[in-house]
Every structure is written in structure tokens, then in C-alpha cells.
Amino acid sequence: MGAGRFGHNHLRVLLKLERKGLCKLAGVAVKTDKHRQELMRQHSIPIFNRLSTKLLQSVDGVDITTPTPTHFSLVKSILRHTNILVEKPIALNSNQIAIIKKVSRKSGKKVMVGHIYHFHPLVRRLRSIIQPMGVPHFISARFLYPEVKKIKWDALFELLHPFDIVEYLFGLVPRGGIRTNHNNWISTSIFYPRKIKGVFDIGFHRSEKVRTLTFHFKNISVHCDFAKNIIEIVKGKKTKTISCPSKPEPLQLELETFLKILRKEHQTYPDIALAQKIITGMEKIRSFRTNRKPKIAVIGGGIFGATAAIELGKLGQVHLFEKRSSLMEEASFVNQYRHHMGYHYPRSKETVQESQEARPVFEDVFGKAVVRHFPSFYCVSHLKSKISAKKYLTFCRTNHLPFVRSYPPHNLLDRKKVSLCIKTNEPIYDYQKLKKIVETHMKRRKTISLHLNSRVDKGFLGQDGKKYLWVTKKGREYKMPFDFVVNATYARMNAFAHWFDFPLKPLRMDLVELVVIRLPIPAIALTIMDGAFPTLVTTGEPSLFTLGHVRTSLRKSFVPSDGLVPEWKLPKSNWKKIVSECQNWFPILRFAEHVESRFVIRAVNAYREHDDARPSDIIRHGFGCWSILGGKVITAAATANSIAKELKQILDSSNFSS
């Protein structure tokens, strides 16, 4: 039954099976004369506008591929006479399935539900791979299909595949969860038994089909891409890729199973009980319940956390927690204050594009902190550079980065060491002015409560969706509930993931020494590209500069398996060696006066040495939680806007408490 896309596909395979002698096709039932005429022109088989009782009683089974809202009524009426294969979902709620179950029991007829991923070669291969691994602690899925005309029924039930696959692999269905509706697609945060959590995005949202499923175990993640028919097993920096066959096609295996059921051959198949189990579990995923002005926690008072608090203060009551006595005292302070336009990342188009898109958003909020009107030079080394002069020029032109070919004075740069030098107008930001602007915004926003000297030690996710944080201040510990939490602790971001049992983000931890020097020259910035080379940048204060070297400023570096910040002791300053190494490029450094050395633990995406990408990542944990890995300060405002937009979407989809 049915002449849509699914119906035509089922008919194609059934005709193939008929040619093999596995079945006899009695006919096709369609709703309209138009479809009837089309099928009659294409096939020499009986085409019906309706199914009579006599016809139903004369066949062994009916294959229903009609639109989802018709499934319940058709199954209920046909099941009295014959066996059925029906496309999923069998019905749109568990009450309807219970009625079908009674009809099946009374008539003695069987119903097979078209949970087609039970027959997918990738899923069957996956089952054998993950069985020895036990159960994952977190599951993420994205089943998003090209936009269609808005459907009038629940897209979550229409595309229940991820729930079906999880049940097939582990026998588990949701025991609770939160859903957010976005037009034709739904994002879900799911509580499974055995403390397993899941985040599924399902529906009609993209121009291309995306079907991915990832299982996170303790030290391994297993990623499945159904569009590419591959399974990737990721452990640290090693990835093992397994290609799965696409033949025989899942639909053929499904229909062959139905034919075996009709022949009364013993078969395990997706039946009414399974369909009822899955739908009942999915019904427990409900809209978030919160106040109209929710309580929001932001952990970390650096530039990213502070900017997020300012933006989120428009939506609710924000509590910003900072363990130090003042804002912006760590990575926001130990920084070269470069207002990135893109010149610095010739091997990462992603970082360049992100910086360019974020620039006007940042300047709209913090523009008064931007310092211009000084020359910023980028040079390409003659030797051991990862990019040639020619390619660097092409990179600048391709990305519309303005420049002129020019050199600074001889006493500032050893020209013999470089094959190219360009002069740009890339600014910096004044740290003190930026901090003052942040503090002014915080004071004006009455919905923000700033908690300084307050350390968040742990967290817990309640079944009601509330996030509970344990905060220590002046030796006393407080437990505080929140509707939403933004984690902006930078290098310490994975501690948050440990608290809530979210997947860890692979990070490389770098202990970096940044040298502050005084020089008798005007404001300038000098950077050698692209490798283990130096950079000298004005701070905006007269004669004061920051100096770093890719190799000698890096004191320690490694990727911790637990994702946590190592307990490194602060080393002795290496400033003399750093200055000496940089002086080979910048002769003026023989006049450098050492002011201080600043140390910071820098966190970057692990295993990205090939392109040195430094995007600002938003990790969407689900359950009303986000983490920010700030790549570049220039992206702070755009990142805050993105999270605020997502949170507003959740609020628009929520049920509000009275």
C-alpha cells in the first residue's frame, strides 16, 4: 500500500524478489486515480484504489508504506484479516500501539515494523565491534534530512532511527529527557538507564542528509557515518576506519525477513512489542520546564566567560563564578593582545574565516579597547618555514587581507633571514581598557551576580534537568541549582565534563612563558611565519612589548589522557634564552630590558599540528550545558551571541513554571 517514494522503493524490491520466486505480488493499492494510472503504465500488475475484505483474506500479507498518520487506522483495520509489514512508526503514541497489540492477539495475525536499521550492514558490523566494550557513557546522534514541506506530526517519531539502533545494540530506551523544537527538527537530551546520557538532533534541517551516531566509552569513541558507510574507532590520536558493504541493501533484507515470517519460518524481527517499547521511551522526552527568567551559571571570569555573562544577562539571572579576586587574570591577561584579522593562520582557513566574521561583533561591544595606527609586519622565513613567500601572498589575497610589501628599519629585523615581509594594519586591543569595558557592562547589567574568590568544585545533573554546582567561597561550600550552565574555564574545561560525565575534548596542554620587555622604539608588531619563530608585539603602552618564541617559550607540552590540567610547578624564567633566540631575528632586542615573565597554561585542540587551527569551539553537551574553548579573544562576543541564541531557542520551546 502506498505510491510515494517509500512505496516505489518497496515495490522495486518486491518485484526483484518475485523474479527470484520468493513471493507472488497480488497487487498495489493506491489512493488516487492519478497514481493508479502512473503505476499501470509502468507495471503489468493489478492496481487497486481500495482493499476489499475478500482481497485481504486472499493474501498472506500486506506491506504498508503510506504516510505516518495513516499507519494506526490502516493497521488496525487490515490486521483483522492478514499479516502486516508497516513502515515505522507503527503509530504516533503508545496508546495506539496498545490497541494494535490487542487486535493482533485477537486475530492471531503478525505485525512486523519497518525498523530498517536492524538490517543495515553497518549496524550489524557495529554490534560485533562494540559488544566487548560494554555500554557507553554517552551517545550522540545527528539524523538530519533535507528540508521538506512542514510535516504536521512529530518529526521525532518519524525519524526514530537513533533510538531504534540504541535499543538494538544495548536493549535500552529512554527513561526521561528534554526536547527543544526548532521548526522541523528537534534537539534532545536523553537519560538512559545505567547512567548513560544521549544527545540526539533529529528532523528536517539541512540541504544534505546527515546520519551519524557516536558512542563514547572510557578511552575510546566509536563513530558511525551511515552516508559514507564507515565506522571510525578513535583512541587518542589513532583512528581505525572500517568500511562496511552497502549490499545487500537493508530494505531487501527487511522484506526477505517478512517473507520468512509469512512462510512461518522462525525469525527474530521488529514486532509490536519492540515498537511499543521504543515509543513509550520516547514519550518520556518532554519540553524543558523552567521559569521565564531562568537561573544561569557561567563558570570562569575570563573574557569569554564575562562576555557570555553580559549577553546571557538579557535572558535570565546570571551568576558568574571566578576563583580569583578579579576578572580576566589568567589566559585573558597572559596574551599578546593581537586583534586577529587572519594573517597569523595561513594553514587554517577555518580560523581566518572565524576571526573575520567575529571582528565586527567584537568591535560593536569592545571597539573602544582596540588600538590602531601602528605598523604590524608579517615576514616569511627563508628557512624551515611551513609556508613559502609565494603561498603566503596568495593566502593574503585569497582571504582579502590588505597589505603592502615593505620592511621595518634594519635595526628591527634581520632582512637576510626572510624571503618576504609585508606591512599590515592589524591592531591589538588594550588589555586594561578591555577589562574596564567588561566591568562597566557587568555593573550596568542588574541581572548579573558576580562571585569573585568563588571556586566551583563539582557538579551534578538532576533528573529534572537542573544542574547543581558546589561552590567554595571563604572556606564554606554552597550547593546551588541552575537551569543552564556555561563552562568557560578554558584549560580546565574537561573538569566540567568529568563532573557531568560528558565526553572529554582532546586537548594539548602547553605551559607557555610570555616575556614582557621594554624597548626604546615606537609601537610595532613583528612576526616571523610559519614555524618555530619569534613574535614581538606592542602592548599599547609606550615602549612596552610582549615577546614570545614558538619553541623556547614553550616550557612543557603534552596531551593528558584524562583531559585535565597537569599539576605542573611553575618553572624558573627562561627569559634570557627567549630574548637571545629572538635577537637572531630582531637585532633591537640587544637593548631589551626585562620587565617580567608571565606564565599560562594554554589549551588547544589536540592533534591539529598539521594546520595549527585555533578556532573558538562551543561544545554543546546538551542538558542545558555548554563549554567554550576560546581560540582567539576576537571571537568572544560572537561566541556569546551563539550560546544566547541557542538558549533563547530552548526558552521559546519550554514549558514555564507558574
pLDDT in tens, 448-466: 999 999 999 999 999 888 9
pLDDT in tens, 581-591: 999 999 999 99
Q: Cα(312)–Cα(389) distance, rounded to whole angstroms?
A: 44
Q: pTM here?
A: 0.91
**pLDDT (mean) for 355-361:** 96
Distance of CA 240 to the CA centre of its chain: 21
Contacts of 622 (CB under 8 A, 6+ apart): 178, 187, 188, 189, 197, 198, 199
Place of cell 561552590: 471
pLDDT value, residue 198: 97
What dihedral do alpha carbons 518, 521, 523, 527 form, nearest 10°?
Answer: -80
Would you place residue 656 in the very low, low, confident or very high pLDDT band (cuts 50, 70, 90)? low
Instruction: Give yes or no for residue 657 having a pLDDT over 70.
Output: no
Would you place residue 49 in the very low, low, confident or very high pLDDT band (cuts 50, 70, 90)? confident
Instruction: Give yes or no for residue 658 having a pLDDT over 60.
Output: no
- Kindly list the structural domains of the chain, giving each domain's residue range(s) and its CATH number in brackets, ordered by start: 5-114 (3.40.50.720), 118-246 (3.30.360.10), 295-372+428-505+609-658 (3.50.50.60), 373-424+507-606 (3.30.9.10)
Would you place residue 127 in the very low, low, confident or very high pLDDT band (cuts 50, 70, 90)? very high
Instruction: Give yes or no for residue 385 having a pLDDT over 70.
Output: yes
Would you place residue 130 in the very low, low, confident or very high pLDDT band (cuts 50, 70, 90)? very high
**pLDDT (mean) for 362-390:** 96
pLDDT in tens, 315-349: 999 999 999 999 999 999 999 999 999 999 998 88
Please state the three-class secondary structure of 463-492 as a single string: CCCCEEEEEEECCEEEEEEECEEEECCHHH
**pLDDT (mean) for 398-402:** 96
**pLDDT (mean) for 82-100:** 95
Would you place residue 197 in the very low, low, confident or very high pLDDT band (cuts 50, 70, 90)? very high
Q: What angle do CA 473, 320, 442 make, to 5 degrees?
A: 125
pLDDT value, residue 611: 65
**pLDDT (mean) for 80-90:** 94
What backbone phi and psi angles, to 5 degrees, belong to 130? -90, -10
